[in-house]
Structure 1
Amino acid sequence: MFQRRFFTAFLTIFVALNLVLAGCSGQSSSNADQKSKTNKNPEEQPIAKKEGNSIVIAVKDNLISMDPHDTNDTLSGSIQSTMLEGLVGFDKDMNMIPVLAESYEASDDAKVFTFTLRKGVTFHDGTPFNAEAVKVNIDRVANPDNKLKRYSMFELVEKTEVIDEYTVSVTLKEPFGAMLNHFAHPAGRIISPAAIEKYGKDVAMNPVGTGPFKFVEWNQSDHLAVEKNPDYWEEGLPIVDGIKFKPVPESGARVAMLQTGEADFIYPIPTEQAESINGTDGIIVENSPSIVARYMSMNTTKKPFNDIKVRQAINYAINKEAFLKVVYRGYGSEMDSVIPAGLQFYSKQTPYPYDPEKAKQLLQEAGYESGFKTTVWGGNNSDAIKAMEFIQQQLGEIGIEVNVVPMEAGTLSDKIWSVQEAKDAEVELFYGGWSSSTGDADWGIRPLLAGDAIPPKSYNVAYYENEKVDQLINEALQTADPEKRKAAYAKMQELIWEDAPWAFLMVEDTMAGKKNYLEGVYLLPDGSMNAREAEIKR
Structure 2
Amino acid sequence: MRSILAAGAIAIAALGLAPTHASAQSTLRIGLAEDPDVLDPTLARTYVGRIVFASICDKLFDIDAKLNIVPQLALSHETSADGREVTIKLRPNVRFHDGEPMDAKAVKFSLDRHLGMQGSFRRSELSVVDAIEVVDPTTVRLKLKAPFAPLLATLTDRAGMMVSPKAAEAAGDRFGAAPVCAGPYRFVERVQQDRIVVERFADYWDKDKVSIDRIVYRPIADSTVRLANLKAGQLDLIERPLATDVPEIKKDRNLTLQSVTELGYQGMTLNVANGDAAKNPLGQSAKVRRALELAIDRDAINQVTFNGLFTPANQWVAPDNAWYDKRNPVPGRDVAAAKKLLAEAGVKASLAIDFMVPNNPETRQVAEVIQAMAAEAGFDMKIRVVEFATGLSEAEQGRYQAFMLAWSGRPDPDGNIYSFAKTNGPLNYGKFSSPDLDQALEESRTATTREGRKAAYDKVADVWLKDGSVIYLYHRAMLIAHTNKLKGFTLLPDGMVRVVGLKMN
Following superposition of structure 1 onto structure 2, how do residues 365-376 of structure 1 map, counting pairs within 5 Å? 365-376=344-355
Distance in 2 (CA, whole Å) between partners of 1:521 and 1:63 is 22
Return the offset for 1:119. Answer: 1.3
Does the alignment pair 1:189 with 2:161? yes
Does the alignment pair 1:125 with 2:103? no
Residues 1:533 and 1:381: Cα distance change in structure 2 (over 3 Å):
farther
SS of 2:124 mapped into structure 1:
helix
Residues 1:462 and 1:526: Cα distance change in structure 2 (over 3 Å):
farther
- Please give the per-residue CA displacement for 1:232-263, whole angstroms capped at 9, x wherever unaligned: 11141311111111111111111101110111
Distance in 2 (CA, whole Å) between partners of 1:93 and 1:493 is 25
Distance in 1 (CA, whole Å) between partners of 2:322 and 2:423 is 22
Match of 2:16 in 1: none
Q: Contact 1:379/1:385 (CA < 8 Å) preserved in 2?
A: yes
TM-score if structure 1 supplies the norm length? 0.85
* Equivalent in 482, 499, 505 of residue 531 of structure 1: 499
Residues 1:500 and 1:117: Cα distance change in structure 2 (over 3 Å):
closer
Following superposition of structure 1 onto structure 2, how do residues 19-34 of structure 1 map, counting pairs within 5 Å? none
* Equivalent in 60, 79, 83 of residue 87 of structure 1: 60
Match of 1:33 in 2: none
SS of 1:68 mapped into structure 2:
coil
Distance in 1 (CA, whole Å) between partners of 2:137 and 2:87 is 13
Distance in 2 (CA, whole Å) between partners of 1:400 and 1:441 is 32
Distance in 1 (CA, whole Å) between partners of 2:226 and 2:92 is 41
Q: Contact 1:212/1:237 (CA < 8 Å) preserved in 2?
A: no
Count of matched residue pairs? 478
Q: Contact 1:321/1:334 (CA < 8 Å) preserved in 2?
A: yes
Match of 1:498 in 2: 466
Match of 1:469 in 2: 437
Match of 1:312 in 2: 290
Residues 1:235 and 1:213: Cα distance change in structure 2 (over 3 Å):
closer
Return the offset for 1:344. Answer: 4.9
Return the offset for 1:264. Answer: 0.6
Return the offset for 1:342. Answer: 5.3
Distance in 2 (CA, whole Å) between partners of 1:476 and 1:52 is 48
Q: Contact 2:210/2:499 (CA < 8 Å) preserved in 1?
A: no
Match of 1:157 in 2: 129
* Equivalent in 141, 164, 175 of residue 147 of structure 2: 175
* Equivalent in 70, 75, 78 of residue 102 of structure 1: 75
Q: Contact 1:293/1:507 (CA < 8 Å) preserved in 2?
A: yes
Does the alignment pair 1:413 with 2:386? no
Return the offset for 1:500. Answer: 4.5
Following superposition of structure 1 onto structure 2, how do residues 505-520 of structure 1 map, counting pairs within 5 Å? 505-520=473-488
Matched letter for residue 97 of structure 2: H
Following superposition of structure 1 onto structure 2, how do residues 413-432 of structure 1 map, counting pairs within 5 Å? 413-417=392-396, 419=397, 425-432=398-405
Following superposition of structure 1 onto structure 2, how do residues 210-229 of structure 1 map, counting pairs within 5 Å? 210-229=182-201
TM-score if structure 2 supplies the norm length? 0.91
Matched letter for residue 250 of structure 1: D
Residues 1:277 and 1:182: Cα distance change in structure 2 (over 3 Å):
closer
Match of 2:50 in 1: 77
Among all aligned residue pairs of Structure 1 and Structure 2, give the percentage whose two residues are the same amino acid: 27
Residues 1:343 and 1:113: Cα distance change in structure 2 (over 3 Å):
farther
SS of 1:321 mapped into structure 2:
helix
SS of 1:132 mapped into structure 2:
helix
Distance in 2 (CA, whole Å) between partners of 1:193 and 1:341 is 42
Distance in 1 (CA, whole Å) between partners of 2:360 and 2:32 is 10
Match of 2:3 in 1: none
Distance in 2 (CA, whole Å) between partners of 1:194 and 1:486 is 43
Does the alignment pair 1:283 with 2:250? no
Return the offset for 1:196. Answer: 0.9
Match of 1:15 in 2: none
Return the offset for 1:403. Answer: 2.0
Distance in 1 (CA, whole Å) between partners of 2:39 and 2:489 is 20
Match of 2:6 in 1: none
Does the alignment pair 1:387 with 2:366? yes
Distance in 1 (CA, whole Å) between partners of 2:229 and 2:257 is 14
Following superposition of structure 1 onto structure 2, how do residues 225-374 of structure 1 map, counting pairs within 5 Å? 225-280=197-252, 282-301=254-273, 302=278, 303-305=280-282, 306-341=284-319, 343-348=321-326, 349-374=328-353
SS of 1:177 mapped into structure 2:
coil
SS of 1:230 mapped into structure 2:
coil
Return the offset for 1:146. Answer: 2.2
Distance in 2 (CA, whole Å) between partners of 1:223 and 1:147 is 25
Q: Contact 1:346/1:441 (CA < 8 Å) preserved in 2?
A: no
Higher mean Cα deviation, 264-273 or 327-336?
327-336
SS of 1:278 mapped into structure 2:
helix
Q: Which structure 2 residue ranges, 5 or more long, are not aligned?
A: 1-19
Match of 2:120 in 1: 148
Following superposition of structure 1 onto structure 2, how do residues 49-64 of structure 1 map, counting pairs within 5 Å? 51-64=24-37
Q: Contact 1:62/1:409 (CA < 8 Å) preserved in 2?
A: no
Q: Contact 1:113/1:170 (CA < 8 Å) preserved in 2?
A: yes
Does the alignment pair 1:111 with 2:84? yes
Distance in 2 (CA, whole Å) between partners of 1:130 and 1:137 is 11
Residues 1:357 and 1:385: Cα distance change in structure 2 (over 3 Å):
same
Q: Contact 2:54/2:496 (CA < 8 Å) preserved in 1?
A: no
Return the offset for 1:480. Answer: 1.4
SS of 1:149 mapped into structure 2:
coil
- Please give the per-residue CA displacement for 1:37-87, whole angstroms capped at 9, x wherever unaligned: xxxxxxxxxxx9983320111111121121112122222111111000111
Return the offset for 1:322. Answer: 0.8
Distance in 1 (CA, whole Å) between partners of 2:391 and 2:172 is 24
Following superposition of structure 1 onto structure 2, how do residues 468-487 of structure 1 map, counting pairs within 5 Å? 468-487=436-455
